[in-house]
Amino acid sequence: MTMNRETLINTILAVAFVAVPVIAMGMNEPFIITLATKVAIFAMAGVGLNLVLGFGGLVSFGHAAFFGIGGYAAGILASHALNYEPIMESPFLIEGTTQMIVIWIVALIVSALVALAIGAITLRTSGVYFIMITLAFAQMIYYFAISWPAYGGEDGLSIYVRNGFPGLNTLDPISFFALCAVMLGIVMLFSAILIRSRFGLALQGARQNPQRMTAVGIAPFRIRLVAFVISAMITALAGALYADLNRFVSPTMLSWHMSGEIMIFVILGGVGRLFGPLAGAALYIILEHLLGSVWEFWQLPLGVLLLIVVLFARGGLVGVLAGERKHA
């Protein structure tokens, strides 16, 4: 592979992403490590959304649903384990757990099932209908979480001790960062392989010309549904990590602002680019931190900046730096 400007920028991004928390550890600044962990997790949620949004051309405005499902998988399983209450006793015993690996598997399975149901209905529509209906289904889950009292309702659910991972002290900030960063790396690698595979090409083909895809014998609906499910699973994994980062999960993770933010990570960085979500999440967190420390109403300049990016800088951060338009 030749070293074009985008590859160079991606390399610099990856190096900075790992170097900043390591330097912060040396300077004993755990808060910066936490910010970097947040970047890793948001980037992972963005990688999930980018799969359908960037490569599939499907504007899902409801990915907070999957982010929140991942979060609640962590919260609910941990709360049952910590209270020694089994989730179910008959017909067979299911107990809670504080093992991240088990939590992740549950998050992946539940989000896949929910995405299958939502995708089967929403993917029958397209364009503006798809945007509004994905939003509406996410709101449905949001209101359900608020009005269902068993797991905290509107107040949310605390995870008193961060869940564990074999051979790792997850309470140590740099260890938890390393875990999140490695997971992000795996997800990005998986995503890169997936979009270059036959399946990924078919997905991009279905975006560019669905009629031709149908003509060559590939049903766009099925390809899109599988992509939607995989995308939801990646975002749910990020949600499980986010709940563990905050040791707290609440309906806020399911709210439509969250869907909008995940979309912003993807757009700020550059739609349909592998490193776009990482660049976007990093930029968002840096802006939030810098603007937020100067002015209480930091979302106002953020909104203005986002408007400028949408109206004038359409390739996102990576696109502007790489100096080339990519037709996504």
Which residues sit at the interface with other proteins, rule CB under 8 A? 53, 59, 61, 121, 124-129, 131-133, 135-137, 139-140, 143-144, 146-150, 256, 260, 263-264, 267, 271, 297-300, 302-304, 306-307, 310-311, 314
3-state secondary structure of 256: helix
Give the DSSP H/E element, type plus range, for residue 248: strand 248-249
Least distance to other proteins, CB of residue 305, Å: 8
Contact status, residue 73 vs residue 157, Cβ threshold 8 Å: no
Q: Is 89 exposed, middle or buried (0-12, 13-18, 19+ CB in 10 A)?
A: exposed
Instruction: In whole angstroms, give the CA distance from residue 60 to residue 64.
Output: 10
Nearer to other proteins, 51 or 179 (CB): 51
Helix, strand, coil shares of the chain, percent, nearest 5, are 75, 5, 25
Least distance to other proteins, CB of residue 256, Å: 7
Nearer to other proteins, 192 or 306 (CB): 306
Least distance to other proteins, CB of residue 124, Å: 5
Least distance to other proteins, CB of residue 167, Å: 40
Least distance to other proteins, CB of residue 94, Å: 21
Nearer to other proteins, 128 or 215 (CB): 128
3-state secondary structure of 314: coil
- 157 forms beta bridges with 249
Residue 11: Cβ within 10 Å count: 12
Least distance to other proteins, CB of residue 125, Å: 5
**Residue type, position 235, single letter:** T
Least distance to other proteins, CB of residue 304, Å: 6
Residue 264: Cβ within 10 Å count: 20
Nearer to other proteins, 25 or 313 (CB): 313
Instruction: In whole angstroms, give the CA distance from residue 24 to residue 2.
Output: 33
Contact status, residue 49 vs residue 263, Cβ threshold 8 Å: yes
Least distance to other proteins, CB of residue 121, Å: 6
Nearer to other proteins, 162 or 224 (CB): 224
Nearer to other proteins, 199 or 298 (CB): 298
Q: How many helices (H) and strands (E) does the chain have?
A: 13, 2
Instruction: In whole angstroms, give the CA distance from residue 194 to residue 188.
Output: 10
Nearer to other proteins, 144 or 160 (CB): 144
Nearer to other proteins, 133 or 281 (CB): 133
Q: Where are the beta strands (DSSP E) in 105-242?
A: 157-158
